[in-house]
Amino acid sequence: MSANELVKRGRRDWARWLGSLISIAVLVAALAQWRDIDYATLADLVPSSPAFWLAFVVYYLLGPASEWLIFRRLWKLPANGIVPLLRKKVSNELILGYLGEVYFYSWARRHGQLTAAPFGAIKDVAILSAMAGNAITLLMMAVGFPLFYGLASGLDLDLSQRTLGFSVLFMAVSSILVLALRRRVLSLPKDELVFVLAMHTLRIVAGIGVLALMWHLALPQVALLWWVLLSLLRQLVTRLPFVANKEIVFASIAIFFVGGETTISALMALVAGLVLVAHLVVAAGTSIYALVEKEGNDDADR
């Protein structure tokens, strides 16, 4: 075996071990949270409408599906590339933000036929995702600041103008810096960057709409328009970096608009519980797939 082949095999080995370690961490995190789910209460809350379940599946898969389309264009990612992207989503949400990117990078390194240098593309996609979220949040803040701050003040929420100002300033400055230094920070060609940014923007907008539809299907007595407004406000609240207790802030605003503290709390618990159950199912399924794939790669290397 040549020195070049040894180096390539060594790179595949460390990427394989890193991917395995993250897979184990995801399983441990999933099992740790499995016991915390109140399945009886969750079962009582779940709507029987097939439309609700279809909306939930779309809502859950929006992120991985949009990234599959992105990397399909960048790398000609095959259909089974959705599996590591699902694992990426679960790793980010169950363990630590951006750990999923590390896992996906290790997966891409093990599949060298896709791309010789995956780091640049994964980095650019992550940065543009944050920029798309920042841009939409800043636009919403510019349009709805009087309403949002008036609600926060009227509901006596711990949300000062200074906190909001620092949050807006941080998002604006970070986005402007990326744009100003884009030739040093971003490595993809301009056409690809525009495509990636457009896909992230469509994902965020679609996510806002689908979440509102889910809430409406769960509580149809509340008009869809109110749920769309609340979904927009949730996007705004969750993206502000220096706002503490984001879910409490959003729940208070939701109760103000819709009424019924018990109903809103139950709805938030329902969606959070279903997402967690989906994470656990995906973690188990992708772990089995990863083990089968690893066995197949080991056999091929022998």
In this structure, is the dihedral angle defined by the CA atoms of residues 139, 145, 146 and 152, taken in order, positive or negative? positive
Q: 115 near 143, Cβ under 8 Å? A: no
Beta carbons within 8 Å of 38's beta carbon, 6+ residues apart: 273
CA distance to 174, 237, 279, per residue, from 246 (Å): 21, 6, 21
Q: What is the pLDDT at residue 6?
A: 39
Cα 95-96-97 angle, rounded to 5 deg: 135
- For the chain, which residues make up each domain, given as ranges? 3-301
Q: Around Cβ 231, how many Cβ atoms within 10 Å?
A: 21
Put simply, whether the predicted model's pTM sits higher than 0.75 gets the answer yes
- HSE-CB of 61 using CA atoms within 13 angstroms: 12
Q: What are 96-155's pLDDT values in tens digits? A: 777 888 888 888 888 767 776 788 999 999 999 999 999 999 998 887 767 776 666 665
Q: What are 232-285's pLDDT values in tens digits? A: 888 888 888 877 667 777 777 777 777 666 677 778 878 888 888 898 888 888
With cut-offs at 50, 70 and 90, classify the pLDDT of residue 165.
Answer: confident
